[in-house]
Amino acid sequence: MMSPFLFWIFAILMLVFGAAVIINRNPVASALSLVVSFFGLAALFLSLDAYFIGVIQVLVYAGAIMVLFLFIIMLLDLRAEELRKINWIASAGGIAVALALMFQIFSVVEKFPAAKQSFPPLAKPAPDDVRQIGLLLFNNYTLPFQIIGIVILVATVGVIILSRRETR
């Protein structure tokens, strides 16, 4: 387990840069904030002894998804949004709904007593989670693992179909 100090550092890092994603006017800045936010998230994963997931998170998000975002932003040549008239009522409404959702989640988490106990100890701290996950993946999760192939097939074919220029 990580010390509370580090937890708060990374949690706040993640949340602040998460907020920066949606506040920034410039899409490139948003994308970079997203990367930082996900690094914070990956650190939180490590704090939960989920090393494999933490690594994957960095690899996939920072490595792949972020590049994709940046690539599209560059491709479409998007600059910072010109200052449009912001629809304050709609924005306030959206933020209010999101806040209500957040407080709803807070209040029900409060009422979940089991969550207030500390995490149960692990038998051995040495991370062999890659092996464990690998075993599960090829035993219990064979089927979804195959199906994920179909998801990627759909995405690949779909992206090619959609982004190819139509020859008239």
Partner 1 sequence: MSVRPGPQPLNLFVSYLDLLKLASPEAIIVLIALAVLTIGLTGDRSRTFPGIVAVVGIVIAIWTTMRLPQHANLFGGMLVISPLNSLFKIVCLALALATVPLAVSEKSMRNPGEYLAMLLLGTVGLLLLVGSEELLMIFIGLEVLGLSLYVMAAFDKTDARSAEAGLKYFLFGSTASAFTLFGISLVYGISGTTALNVIGLKLAMGSIPPLFAVGIVMTLIGFAFKIAAAPFHLWAPDVYQGAPIPSAAFIASGSKVAAFVVLGKIVLVGFAPAHGNAAWHSMLPGWSPILAALAALSILLGNFVALAQTNVRRLLAYSAVAHAGYTLLGLVAGGREGFSATLFYTTIYALTLIGAFAVVGIVKRETGGDDFQNFAGLASRSPFSAACMSVFMLSLAGLPPLAGFFGKFYLFSAAFRAGGNHGLLWLVVVALFGSFVSLYYYLNVLKAIFVDKNASETRHSSPGTHRFVANATIAVLAASVVLLGVLPDALAEAIAKSVP
Partner 2 sequence: MITLEHYLMVSGMLFAIGFAGVMVRRNIIIILMALELMLNAANLSLVAFSRFHVNASGTPNYNAQIFVFFIITVAAAEVAVGLAIVVALFRLRQTTNVEDITALKF
Show the beta-strand stretches assigned E in 19-63. none
Q: Which helix (H) or strand (E) holds 61?
A: none
From the CB of 144, what's the least distance to partner 2, in Å?
6
List 83, 108, 125, 126, residue binding partner 1 (CB under 8 A): 108
Q: CA dihedral in degrees (109, 110, 114, 115; nearest 10)?
A: 60
List 74, 79, 142, 159, residue binding partner 2 (CB under 8 A): 159
Backbone torsions φ then ψ of 78, nearest 5 degrees = -85, 130
Residue closer to partner 1 by CB (options 16, 153) is 153
From the CB of 49, what's the least distance to partner 2, in Å?
6
Query: Cα dist. 4→16, 99, 159 in Å?
Result: 18, 25, 43
Choose among partner 2, partner 1, none what residue 130 binds, the Cβ cut-off being 5 to 8 Å by kind.
none
* 48 near partner 2, rule: CB under 8 A: yes
